[in-house]
Amino acid sequence: MTDVTVRPSALDRARVLRWLQDYGVYAGVAVLFLVNVAITPHFVSAENFRTQAVQVAPVIIVALGMALVIGTEGIDLSVGSVMALAASVTALYLGYGPVPALLMVALFAAAVGLANGALVAFVGVQPIVATLALMVAGRGVALVLLPQLEDIRNPALVSLGSGDLAGVPYLILVAAALALLVAFVVRRTTFGRQLLAIGDNRTAAQLAGLPVRRVLMVVYTACALLAAVAGVLATARLQASDPTSLGTLMELSAITAVVVGGTPLSGGRVRIAGTVAGAVLIQLLTATLIKHDLPPSWTQIAQAVVIVLAVYAARGGGRR
């Protein structure tokens, strides 16, 4: 009799948690939006929407790379440092022109990604340890290359951060294009299927003959390159290179966006639309707290609470 009364309740709870994992992020965005419409002055305006979209674009780009890494049951704590490194390299080589500077940024970022991938795939270091080491080293290299803030005056780069196409800022267009590209790779390519298989069960993937090490190398390199793109765009928007603060706590925002968006930390699944929505949710939450004069520390606390709730929903919804 006890089983009969308890089991339906447990099933209902699992359904609710599964719904929250799949659709909770979209509901959260809708609720926050409506709350801001009701209580935040001047929230409904084209200028405010543009500002929020421009601010969230780098977070979306970094979160896309983080989603790929988490899909393999990994983590990358070095993304913020890669952003800072990209800012330093951009300022250092911009005198040779935007194209050479961007190529050097890609080279430095790829080196970080390859180092992360090699430590995880070949040496067998835990992803959190490997990327923690590169997080510290990357920020250090960025500060060695550029010890202090430097203004960016190159018109082409500045226009990338402040310009628009038909009224849509370039930052948003780049973020949208990258989101579509990553979604296509995950859903429609052999590489995407291999990535998910590795995250689901790496041992089984190896036994099946999948190129596990190669896929991991590519994933961590792609994550670093996406973080570098976000670093360049953020530098262009600020019109200054500041390796001291740029990208600080970006790993927290990216992980939050991915987990809240429904991608489990256990790997084997990547939700790109959910990741984008997760980034928007974090941006709306941050903007809400700031517009109502709450200190920045409350934003970090709120993100931590959101992560705990998302992980709880993922674990509960995944039980059988």
At 230-286, the pLDDT tens digits run 999 999 999 989 898 999 889 988 998 999 898 988 889 999 999 999 999 989 988
Taking the C-alpha atoms of residue 116 and residue 221, their distance in angstroms, rounded to an integer, is 8
Q: Are 110 and 224 in contact (CB under 8 A)?
A: yes
Query: Which pLDDT score is estimated for 287?
Result: 85
Q: What angle, rounded to 10 degrees, do the helices at 127-145 and 98-118 form?
A: 150
Query: Which pLDDT score is estimated for 1?
Result: 45
Query: Which pLDDT score is estimated for 40?
Result: 86
Q: Which of 200, 281, 227 is nearest to 110 (CA)?
A: 227
pTM: 0.91
Taking the C-alpha atoms of residue 223 and residue 275, their distance in angstroms, rounded to an integer, is 14
Query: Which pLDDT score is estimated for 320?
Result: 39
Pairing of β 150-151 and β 240-241: antiparallel
Q: What are the φ and ψ backbone dihedral angles of 6, each rounded to 5 degrees?
A: -85, -40
Q: Read off the tokens for 284.
A: 């709306």
Q: Which of 251, 234, 267 is nearest to 307 (CA)?
A: 251
CB contact burial 162-200 (16+ within 10 A = b; e otherwise): eeeeeeebbbbebbeebbeebbebbeeeebbebbbbbbb
Q: Environment class of residue 211 by beta-carbon count within 10 Å: exposed (0-12), middle (13-18) or buried (19+)?
A: middle
Query: Which pLDDT score is estimated for 156?
Result: 87
Taking the C-alpha atoms of residue 87 and residue 196, their distance in angstroms, rounded to an integer, is 32
Kindly list the distances between the CA atom of residue 237 and the CA atoms of 16, 138, 227, in Å, as whole numbers in the listed order: 41, 22, 15
Taking the C-alpha atoms of residue 240 and residue 77, their distance in angstroms, rounded to an integer, is 24
Question: What is the DSSP track for the chain?
Answer: -HHHHHHHHHHHHHHHHHHHHHHHHHHHHHHHHHHHHHHSTT-SSHHHHHHHHHHHHHHHHHHHHHHHHHHTT---TTHHHHHHHHHHHHHHHGGG-HHHHHHHHHHHHHHHHHHHHHIIIII---HHHHHHHHHHHHHHHHHHH--S-EE---HHHHHHHH-EETTEEHHHHHHHHHHHHHHHHHHHSHHHHHHHHHHH-HHHHHHTT--HHHHHHHHHHHHHHHHHHHHHHHHHHHTEE-TTTTTTTHHHHHHHHHHHTT--TT-S---HHHHHHHHHHHHHHHHHHHHTT--HHHHHHHHHHHHHHHHHHHHHHH--
Q: Which of 229, 256, 221 is nearest to 173 (CA)?
A: 229
* Beta carbons within 10 angstroms of residue 234's beta carbon: 27
pLDDT tens-digit profile, the chain (320 residues): 444 454 666 666 667 767 777 778 898 899 889 988 998 888 888 888 898 999 999 999 999 999 999 999 999 999 999 999 999 999 999 989 999 999 999 999 999 999 999 999 999 999 999 999 999 999 999 999 998 888 888 888 988 888 888 889 999 999 999 999 999 999 999 999 999 999 999 999 999 999 999 999 999 999 999 999 999 999 999 998 989 899 988 998 899 899 989 898 888 999 999 999 999 998 998 888 888 877 777 777 877 787 777 777 666 554 43
